[in-house]
Amino acid sequence: MSSRKDIAVVTGGAGFIGSHMVDVLLERGYVVRVVDNLTGGRKSNLAHLETCDELTCHWQDIRELDPASAIFSGAKFVFHFAGIGDIVPSIEKPIEYMDVNVQGTVRVLECARAAGVAKFVYAASSSCYGLAATPTAEDHPISPQYPYALSKYQGEQTAFHWHKVYGLPVNSICIFNAYGPRVRTTGVYGAVFGVFFKQKLAGKPFTIVGDGTQSRDFIYVTDIARAFLAAAETPIVGERFNVGAGNPQAINHLAKLLGGDTVYVPKRPGEPDCTWANIEKITSQLAWKPTVSFEEGVAIMLKDIRLWNDAPLWDPASIEKATQTWFRYLGTRSD
């Protein structure tokens, strides 16, 4: 009997979700190869694995990958997380977003096709649904509100096109609101956890958008990684699966869990009042379900709150300045 281990490639493997994907794969006995240009990822996200013989890292841009790249040779699965996120930068730099998230995906798809992988799993974004009816199922109409959402959707459509034309086995995991350890701590204004945690450390009030009753379907990162593995190991191909907790949480509730004063800033156009994943498809077809409650997940993150010491400290004035582009372009549309 052969003792050869299966190989998995994780693009964006030094990033938030990608690094947890690496953890899950190593725990399951896979040999893992990471591709990351460290624009958003950090080597520290993999520091606990530095002595692992089953992990190799390639610090390069996905747009520079060659279909004959040895990185993908012999790989069974490819998990594609690499890309750039955030709303405001995508409005300001749409060419870069389309280049990385669409053309970069083409490069990875071609590498996977040349390697003859058994499954390519794409990390899609629930932002493609726009201001959606809830709970949101996979067949909901697509309505991207900004270039980031559009680029992620077009990347997903490209992956499914490679499945249709070239027979590449593809599934897509449409991620709702991911949170958990290693979530980004620095950079542009955006993710609520990074904003709130730094404000808590500084003894400043939490800046809540709108009235705080808006809710998000927060899904813990290790549950997401398990969903990706399930989408790879299933014989099912050519499908999108929503991944959320199916249990939206109000931003006011998050602020209450963290404990502290609050201040409210203007509601932003193009943001839904509620995100809520219909997860019936993935629970029935892949036997996956979320296992970490929101309260448990927040408590785990609070244990490491000091990791946010170097994160930017946001207040109403700096948020107003940082989101000017958002209001300029998204606040003047008739739709």
Catalytic positions, written as ranges:
148
CB 316 within 8 A of CB 265: yes
Question: Who's near 114: CB < 8 A, 6+ residues apart?
Answer: 67, 68, 72
CB 243 within 8 A of CB 224: yes
* 120, containing H or E segment: strand 119-125
Q: Which residues pair with 219 in a beta bridge?
A: 178
Rounded Cα–Cα distance for residues 254 and 251 (Å) = 5
Instruction: Tell me which DSSP letter residue 187 carries.
Output: S
Asked if 208 and 258 count as a contact pair (C-beta separation under 8 A), the reply is no
Distance CA 176, CA 205 (A): 26
| Angle 137-280-15 from CA coordinates, rounded to 5° | 75
Q: How far apart are CA 90 and CA 94, in angstroms?
A: 5
State how far the Cα of 251 lies from the Cα of 255, in Å rounded to an integer.
6
Identify whether the C-beta of residue 223 lies closer than 8 Å to the C-beta of residue 292.
Answer: yes
Beta strand 7-11 with 77-80 is parallel
Distance CA 247, CA 125 (A): 18
CB atoms within 10 A of CB 152: 28
CA 99, CA 204: separation in Å to the nearest integer?
Answer: 38
CB-count exposure of residue 235 (10 Å: 0-12, 13-18, 19+): exposed
CA distance 168 to 164: 8
